Structure 1
């Protein structure tokens, strides 16, 4: 007896147009999900997912992995709202802190305590995307915000990635 296994693909940018075309072809071929990574410098994976959401109707779409440090979690939640609305039930938000060389050397930001940073980042995302608002006075973020009353929190899955020191 044959079993069915969900199949997904990772489509690496850049450039953007071939990535979008590959996602459309993957959907036509019956692929269940497409993950689009973000690089420290270059086209943002979540932005590409948003564009793909407007061009597809069935394939699952995920950012894999949007780097947390250079983007405020409220801004990331706002971006995720677009994907969740354009691809209801099909969108996953993948996030991660990246690693020290990228954050400190490329972005010039302090890497500090990545798990504590990620914990607060997720608290803001969950508050906005799952509960419709957040009240947080943390070590890294102070966020007091709520969705407009006409928006229902979409509750997309939030997938976390982590790296460890060798």
Structure 2
């Protein structure tokens, strides 16, 4: 099993995790991932760390499709991949309607079809076989005028990237939670980036969706990791982002994180967390997150306990463990030794 770190996105103020990234590279970690939601972006921070390292892989978990056109994302990716000597893994996610339509101001409709079209354009840009065109309804290239008042000149023409990517097939991982999205990742991507995953329940929850995955398909799971002799305190900290995603990262009737927690066996509890969160009772929402859920999808407690629980991940289909929440080199070293023991 490979090992990486996930630094996420800024919660409030700018955070420079260069020392953590350098420690991870010294210790032989395979990858460092960054993320974005509706604040800091994934590419700028990843480029910052890429400029200060020479070996560790660079990944986004995830960049939001609706934040950029496919061509813009392809340009970001080929540029960073070129400057880093071919170290990029491009993680993509469709997000949800609350963020897509509320923050990016674009329609959320048909995320599966949009993702398929988006990925196809990315690969066409990188391969440079011919000028890029797309007849799909979501990202038509070139853009055609549909009516005199559309604002489209009709002068657009197919273009080919003037930059030659160092790799014509940059690896793409999809951030996916729903069964159809996970299945799509096995069809059109080289990997899957699950957010909340219980290693002991991957087969019953995702087995059918993963059935057709090709050889070498990567499953890179982000795992909140809190090393503490006080397990109850660690559980309380681990519950905070869970309550936020269940309650606040989605609308009342459309929340993919809530749906996923239900498939993990906590539907009633998740509904209660959402209710409390939307009522503004956020502390109660955090306390309402089941201990069993927070523990199952995280690595919590003393180092000895974390070592024992890592066995569940080794026995699972996960190919890369992305440690989130650990910043100091001694703890990173201990986890590395446990994983590679």
Q: Which residue of 1 aligns with 2:105?
A: 108
Match for 1:151 among 164, 183, 208?
164
* Structure 2 counterpart SS, 1:116: helix
The 5 A counterparts of 1:34-113 are 34-39=32-37, 41-113=38-110
Distance 1:30 1:48 in 2: 21
Which protein shows a greater Rg?
2
Distance 1:21 1:76 in 2: 28
Judged with a 3 Å threshold, the aligned counterparts in structure 2 of structure 1 residues 88 and 120 are, in CA distance, closer, same or farther, namely same
- Is 1:34–1:61's contact at 8 Å kept on the other side of the alignment? yes
Q: Which residue of 2 aligns with 1:7?
A: 3
- Is 1:98–1:163's contact at 8 Å kept on the other side of the alignment? no
**CA displacement at 1:50 relative to structure 2:** 1.8
- Is 1:92–1:157's contact at 8 Å kept on the other side of the alignment? yes
4+ runs deviating over 3 angstroms:
130-133
Which is strand-richer, 1 or 2?
A: 1
- Is 1:36–1:45's contact at 8 Å kept on the other side of the alignment? yes
Q: How many residues align?
A: 160
* Structure 2 counterpart SS, 1:146: coil
Distance 2:172 2:128 in 1: 13
Q: Which residue of 2 aligns with 1:125?
A: 122
Which is helix-richer, 1 or 2?
A: 2
Distance 1:16 1:137 in 2: 41
- Is 1:8–1:34's contact at 8 Å kept on the other side of the alignment? yes
Tell me if 1:161 matches 2:175: yes
Q: Which residue of 2 aligns with 1:140?
A: 138
- Is 1:130–1:153's contact at 8 Å kept on the other side of the alignment? no
- Is 2:34–2:45's contact at 8 Å kept on the other side of the alignment? yes
- Is 2:78–2:165's contact at 8 Å kept on the other side of the alignment? no
Distance 2:104 2:48 in 1: 26
Q: Which residue of 1 aligns with 2:299?
A: none
Q: When the two structures are superposed, what TM-score results if normalisation uses the length of structure 1?
A: 0.85
Structure 1 runs not aligned, ≥5 long: none
Tell me if 1:20 matches 2:18: yes
Structure 2 runs not aligned, ≥5 long: 142-157, 179-255, 260-341
- Is 1:129–1:153's contact at 8 Å kept on the other side of the alignment? no
| RMSD of aligned residue pairs (Cα, Å) | 2.0
